[in-house]
Every structure is written in structure tokens, then in C-alpha cells.
Amino acid sequence: MLDQIQKCIEEGKWRISYHALKRCDARGIDMEDVLAAIAGGEILEDYPEDPRGASCLVLGHIPAGEPLHVVCSIDKEGWVIIITVYRPGEPKWINERTRREKQ
């Protein structure tokens, strides 16, 4: 799935959800950084049973080296949909790769 996602990003076949756009704006995350994170990223978690459709969590790094999480899917037309974007951190994440267990 990652190869297909990265190919779509390279070809400009991507869309961003309104939710993700709002989150980027609120968190001061530039779209260039989101796209760079996906292009050089790896799938950290897979969500094949997501009610919105199969999706995955991509861990990438912005050019400054900061980790970024991007949840995305591929729609029926073969376009990547960026669902949400955030910087991993407390309280949900111990580090960029390790999710904190629910208490």
C-alpha cells in the first residue's frame, strides 16, 4: 500500500480532508511537510477494518527532521486521501513509534 500511496503523492493524485486541513492549520503544519513525510515515510499501523475504508498510519519526517504522523487511505478512484495529520507526542505516544497503552 505504501508504494501506491507514494506514487499517488508523486503524481499529484491526492486530496486532503477538511478535518486534516483544519488540523494542519491549527498545528502549524505545512502541506509541503506533509507530502515530504509521506514520500519518505513508512507504514506504522494498518487499519484494514476502518469504517471509512482501509487506511494506514504513515510515520514520516519533515525536512527539519521532526516526526509527523499522517493517516491516509486510497479512494475508489485511486487517489490518496489525507485523513488527519499530527505530531506524535504525549499523552498518546511514548515516542514516534510507540503508542502508549490505554489505562
Kindly report, residue by residue over 30-61, the tens digit of the pLDDT.
999 999 999 999 999 999 998 878 999 999 99
Of 31, 11, 22, residue with least CA distance to 79: 11
Residue span of the structural domain in which 71 resides: 2-88
Q: Is the pLDDT of residue 14 over 70?
A: yes
Q: What is the pLDDT of residue 3?
A: 95
Has residue 93 been placed in a domain? no
Is 27 within the bounds of a domain?
A: yes
Is residue 70 a part of any domain in this protein?
A: yes
> How many whole angstroms separate alpha carbon 15 and alpha carbon 80?
6
Q: What is the pLDDT of residue 103?
A: 59
- Has residue 64 been placed in a domain? yes
The number of domains in the chain is: 1
Residue 88 preceded by cis peptide, ω within 30: no
Q: Is residue 54 part of a domain?
A: yes
In a domain, 96, yes or no: no
pTM of the shown model: 0.92
Residue 99 is assigned to a structural domain of this protein: no
